[in-house]
Structure 1
C-alpha cells in the first residue's frame, strides 16, 4: 500500500510539472524538445516490453515508426480521414505489422531475430523512398492533417500536453500490465522459455503480444511526428533511429520508469550534440558501453539502488500472513484413484545412430509414485522430455487422461495437467520465489490481457488470490519465509524445492520429477521423501527419475527400469531389487544378488 501511494504521489507531481512546465516558456525550441521527449518515450516504452522484459532483440523499430507515420499521412492527406481516427488507425496498422514481424520469433532468437528486424527496417525505408505513387518517394507527403481541439489548431504547448497525456496513459497501462501475470510471463520467457512453457505459458503468444505492444507505441510515435510536422519523408526513417530507440531502453533500464529516464537524458543529449553531428555516434557508442559496464541494469536500477541505501524502507516487502490455509488441489483436477492416467506405446526416438528411447511402453496409474531408473545414458531424461512434449518421438503414441498428446506443444501438454521439474534447474532466477510460483498459477488466473492492461478490479482480485495461493504452496513445502527472496540467490537444495512449488502451482494431475535429489545432502534427501509422499496424498500422480536408490525404494509404488533406451523391467520395488536383468544393467555382470542389492538399494548410483 505504501508503494501504491508513493506511485500516485509521484504521478501527481509529474502531472503538475507537465501542466505548469510548458507555460513557463515561449521558446519554440524548448517546447519542441519537450515534445520530442514524449515521442521518444512512447516509442521506447513499448520497446522496453519487448527488449527489457521479454528479451527479444529488435533493431528495426524505425520501420514500425514509419508504418505509423505514413498511415496517418496517407489517410489524412490522400483520403481525407479525420485526423483523430487516422491517428488511431496508425496504431492498428502498426500492430498488424508487429504481429507480422513476430511470426519468425518462434523459430529464431538472439542475433538471428535481430537480423530479421533489421531486414524489416531496411525494407520499410526502401519502400517509402522508392514507391512514389503511394508514399511520395524521397519527396515525401505534404499536407498531413494534424488533430484539432474543436476548431482550434494545436500550438506548441498543446502538442506538449497532448503527447504528455498519451505518455501518462501509456505508463499507467504498461505499469498495470507489467506488475501482473503478463509481466511475470514476459520475464519468464526472457529467462527460460522451456520452463515457461512447462507451466502452461504460451511462449509464442507472449512474444507476439510483446511485439504488438512495441509496434503500437512506436506507430503512435511516428503518427505524432507526421501530424506535428504536417509532413513525412524517408529522411525520417533511418537505421540510426532504431539504434536510438534501443539505446533509450538499454540506458534507461527495464524498469517501467526506465524509458522515461532514457528518453529525457538522451533527447537532451541528442539536441545538445546536434551542432557536432560528427561526434554524435561516437558519443552514443561510448555512452552505451559505459552504461553496460557501470549500470548493467540501466539508469533506473542504479538510481533505485542509491535510493534504497538512503531510504531502506523502500526495499521492505509486505508482511507475510501469520497463518496460511492448507493448500489443496483444485477439485476438478482430482481423478479417481488407481486408473490409467498416461499410456505410452512403442515410443521411439533416435539421434543418428544413438537410440535413447527404443520401443518403450509404459502405463502410469493415478495416485501412485512411479520411479524411472537405470544407469547413466539409459535414456531416462529423453523419455521424460518425450512425455512432457519437449521432444517429439519419431514414432509411438502417448495418451494422457484420454487425450493424444504426441505433437502437442509443451504448454498444451501442461494445460492438460502435466507438470515437470528439470534435471538442470530452470528457475526464473531474477524473480522472487513468490513470483516464480505465481508464474505457475498463470493459466489459473481469471484476468485476461485487457483486464490486466486496464488494471480492472478483476485483475486486482486475481493478483490477490494468486499471491494468497502461492504463499499456501510455499507453506506446504516449508518455503513461506523465502517468498520475497530472489530465487537465484538461494542455496541449491532450496532452489530444487522452489522448482517443485512452481510445478505444483499448475495444479497438475501428473508431476514429473527429474532427479529432484541431485545435489541434496542426506537431510534434504530425507525431507524430499516426505514431500513426495505428501504430494501423492494430495491426489497427484508422480513419475520420478532418481539415482538415489534408497529414496526410490522407500517412496515408489512402481518402478520402471531402462537400459540403453529399452525397458528391461518393471514392478514393485522388492521385485526390481532381485531382478537379474536390473542387477546386470547396474553391475555390468550377473554377480551375486546380495552384491547387486548393495548397489540397487545402496544410497546413490551415478
Structure 2
C-alpha cells in the first residue's frame, strides 16, 4: 500500500505544479514570457526522455538533436506534403523518432563510455548533413514553411497561450508515466545496468532489451519536443539541430540531477532562463554551456536536486545513525541457538514461499554438463567435462588455482559460452541461452569479486534479484514482501535501508547472496563466497549455506577453504587443469590419491587436518 500511496502523493504534487503553471500561462499576456514557458516545457520533455537514457541507464548520448529533428521533420512533411491532420501528424512524430532511436541503439549497444558518445555524436552530425543537403526532401538550409499547426475548438490556429497549455499537459502525462515506470521494476533494471551490466544480466535483466527501451523513450520524447516546436513556429530548418542542441539537452539532465525524477524539470527551468539571458551575448553561449557541462560533471555530479538531497541526508544522518545503532545493539543481544546463530523471525513456510519455486523432480538431474570444452585462444580451461548436479544437494567444486573452476561457473551461468558441449537444465537445452534467460530459469550466482549495486540500498539490491519474478500476478508488493523475508533469513533486515557499498565487506558478501536468493533459484552457484572473510564470518557462512540447502535449493560452491567444503558439502567435484579428476562424498575425496597428488601435492595430512 505504501508504494501506491507514494505514487499518489507524487502524482498529486505534479498535478498541483502543472495547474499553477497553467494558471500562470493564463495570467500572462506577454508573448515573450509565454515563449519562455513554452520552451521550458519543450526542454523538459527532451530532458525527461534523456534522463531515462543518461541518468538511469547511464548511456550518455550526444545525438539528441537528430532525434529532435526526426520529430520536427515528421510533422512538417506529413502536414505539408502528405496532407495529414496536424493532430495525427503530432501523434506520429514520437513514433517515428522512436523508430529512429532503435536504429541508433543497434550500434550503440556494442560500445560504452566515450565510444558511445562518439557513435551518437556521429548520428547527430549525419542527421544535420542529411537535412541540409537533401534539398528536395527537407528543403535544405531554407527549411520547410507552412507547417500546419493545431486548431483550437473555434477552428482558429492555436495561440501561444494554447501551446503553453498543451506542452504543460503533455509534460504532466510524461512525468506521471515515467514516475510509474522509474520507481518500479523498470527503473531498478536501468540503474543496475548503469552500475554493473554483468551482475544485472545474472540477476535476470536483459541488458540489450532495457538499453533499447531507454533509447526508444528518449527518442520519442525528444521527437515530440521537436514536433511541438515545428508546429508552433510553422517553420523548421537545419539551424535548429546543431551540436549545440545535443549538448544543451544533455546539460539539462546533468545540471538538474541525472537519475532523479525531478532533475529534468529543474534543469529545464534553470537552463531556459540562462539561455534567454545569454541571447544578448551569442558569442559567449558555447563557452558558458561548456563550462556548465564541466561543472556539472566534475563538481556537482548529482546536479541541483542532489544538493538538496545531500542537505536533507545530512540533516537526518544523526537520527538514522542512532536508530541503526539501537537496532544493531538489539540484534547483537538477541538469544542464539545451539549452532551459534540468531533464529530468524520468519517461519519456515513463509521462507519456502519467498525463496523457493514449485516442487521439482529430485530423481532426474537438475543440471547436466555433457562434454564441455572451453578454450581461450591456445589456452584450454575446460576439457571434456561431464557433470551431473542433483536437486536438494550441496555440491562443492574444488581444485588448485588455474584448474578452470571459475570458467566452469561462467559457462553454467551463461557469462561466457562453451566452445563445445551441451548444458541441460531439467532436461532442457540451455547451451545457447544468455545469462539473463538462465537466471530467470533458476540458475543464479554470486561472484568471486563482489558485484554489488553499491549505490542502491540493500533492499533495492535484493529486489533487483527478484526482477524476473515480478510479472503477471507477482506484483511489486509481493516482491517487496519476499525481499524482506530474504533479508530476515540472511540476518540483513537491520541493513535494509543502508547503501550496499557503504557496508563492511563481510556484510556485502551476504547482501550479494541475498540478492541471488531473491530470484527463487533452482541452482545457486557461489564463487568463492568465503574469500576475504574472517573465521567467524566463514563459520556463519557455512551455517547459512546449510540453511539454504535445508530449504531444498541446490548449491554449487567454488571454494578454497577445505574445512568449509568438507563441513557443508554432500557431493564434491575436483578439477585439475580443466579436467574433472574426481567426484564423490567428502570422505571419498579425502582419500582419493588423484586429489591428494593434483590438488594437495604429496602431503596427505593437509586435507586430514582441514577436515578435522
* Normalised TM-score (structure 2): 0.91
Change (3 A) 1:48 1:521: same
Tell whether 2:328 aligns with 1:328. Answer: no
Cα distance in 2, alignment partners of residues 231 and 427 from structure 1: 50
Q: How far does residue 261 in structure 1 lie from its aligned partner after superposition?
A: 0.6
Counterpart in the other structure of 1:98:
101
Which deviates more, 60-69 or 288-297?
A: 288-297
Cα distance in 2, alignment partners of residues 279 and 240 from structure 1: 12
Tell whether 2:570 aligns with 1:557. Answer: yes
Tell whether 2:169 aligns with 1:155. Answer: no
Counterpart in the other structure of 1:364:
389
> Is the Cα contact below 8 Å between 2:147 and 2:230 reproduced in 1?
yes
Counterpart in the other structure of 2:333:
none
Counterpart in the other structure of 1:111:
114
Which deviates more, 410-419 or 86-95?
A: 410-419
- Equivalent residues in 2 for 1:44-443, closer than 5 Å: 44-150=47-153, 151-253=155-257, 254-309=259-314, 324=346, 326-329=350-353, 332-443=357-468
The C-alpha deviation readout for 1:461-497, integer Å capped at 9, x for no partner, is: 8222111111011111111121111111111111111
> Paired residue for 1:543, among 545, 556, 565?
556
> Is the Cα contact below 8 Å between 2:263 and 2:305 reproduced in 1?
yes
Counterpart in the other structure of 2:335:
none
Cα distance in 1, alignment partners of residues 314 and 409 from structure 2: 46
Q: How far does residue 181 in structure 1 lie from its aligned partner after superposition?
A: 0.4
Cα distance in 2, alignment partners of residues 310 and 532 from structure 1: 40
Secondary structure at 1:408 match in 2: coil
Secondary structure at 1:577 match in 2: helix
Cα distance in 1, alignment partners of residues 407 and 526 from structure 2: 13
Change (3 A) 1:439 1:125: same
Cα distance in 2, alignment partners of residues 313 and 76 from structure 1: 60
Change (3 A) 1:557 1:345: same
Tell whether 2:41 aligns with 1:28. Answer: no
Q: How far does residue 373 in structure 1 lie from its aligned partner after superposition?
A: 0.4
Counterpart in the other structure of 1:467:
480
Cα distance in 1, alignment partners of residues 504 and 273 from structure 2: 45
Q: How far does residue 235 in structure 1 lie from its aligned partner after superposition?
A: 1.0
> Is the Cα contact below 8 Å between 1:329 and 1:538 reproduced in 2?
no
Q: How far does residue 356 in structure 1 lie from its aligned partner after superposition?
A: 1.6
Q: How far does residue 245 in structure 1 lie from its aligned partner after superposition?
A: 0.4
The C-alpha deviation readout for 1:195-254, integer Å capped at 9, x for no partner, is: 111121111110111000001100000000000000011111111111110111111112
Cα RMSD, aligned residues only:
2.3
Counterpart in the other structure of 1:492:
505
- Gaps (5+ residues) in structure 2? 328-343
Counterpart in the other structure of 2:605:
594
Q: How far does residue 123 in structure 1 lie from its aligned partner after superposition?
A: 1.5
Change (3 A) 1:333 1:116: farther
Secondary structure at 1:147 match in 2: coil
Cα distance in 1, alignment partners of residues 234 and 211 from structure 2: 34
> Is the Cα contact below 8 Å between 1:40 and 1:245 reproduced in 2?
yes
Counterpart in the other structure of 1:450:
none
Secondary structure at 2:582 match in 1: strand
Cα distance in 1, alignment partners of residues 61 and 294 from structure 2: 18
The C-alpha deviation readout for 1:118-139, integer Å capped at 9, x for no partner, is: 1211121111111122211111
> Is the Cα contact below 8 Å between 1:338 and 1:367 reproduced in 2?
no
Cα distance in 1, alignment partners of residues 345 and 566 from structure 2: 35
Cα distance in 1, alignment partners of residues 497 and 511 from structure 2: 12
Cα distance in 1, alignment partners of residues 570 and 494 from structure 2: 33
Q: How far does residue 24 in structure 1 lie from its aligned partner after superposition?
A: 3.6
Cα distance in 1, alignment partners of residues 475 and 606 from structure 2: 57
Tell whether 2:515 aligns with 1:502. Answer: yes
Cα distance in 2, alignment partners of residues 313 and 152 from structure 1: 60
Secondary structure at 1:246 match in 2: helix
Cα distance in 2, alignment partners of residues 225 and 5 from structure 1: 31
Which deviates more, 561-570 or 84-93?
A: 561-570
* Normalised TM-score (structure 1): 0.92
Secondary structure at 1:357 match in 2: strand
- Equivalent residues in 2 for 1:501-540, closer than 5 Å: 501-540=514-553
Q: How far does residue 310 in structure 1 lie from its aligned partner after superposition?
A: 5.6
> Is the Cα contact below 8 Å between 1:308 and 1:314 reproduced in 2?
no
- Gaps (5+ residues) in structure 1? 448-457
Secondary structure at 1:345 match in 2: strand
Q: How far does residue 15 in structure 1 lie from its aligned partner after superposition?
A: 2.5
Change (3 A) 1:351 1:476: same
Q: How far does residue 156 in structure 1 lie from its aligned partner after superposition?
A: 1.6
The C-alpha deviation readout for 1:75-124, integer Å capped at 9, x for no partner, is: 01111111111001001111111112111243222222222211211121
Cα distance in 2, alignment partners of residues 470 and 364 from structure 1: 27
Change (3 A) 1:311 1:518: closer
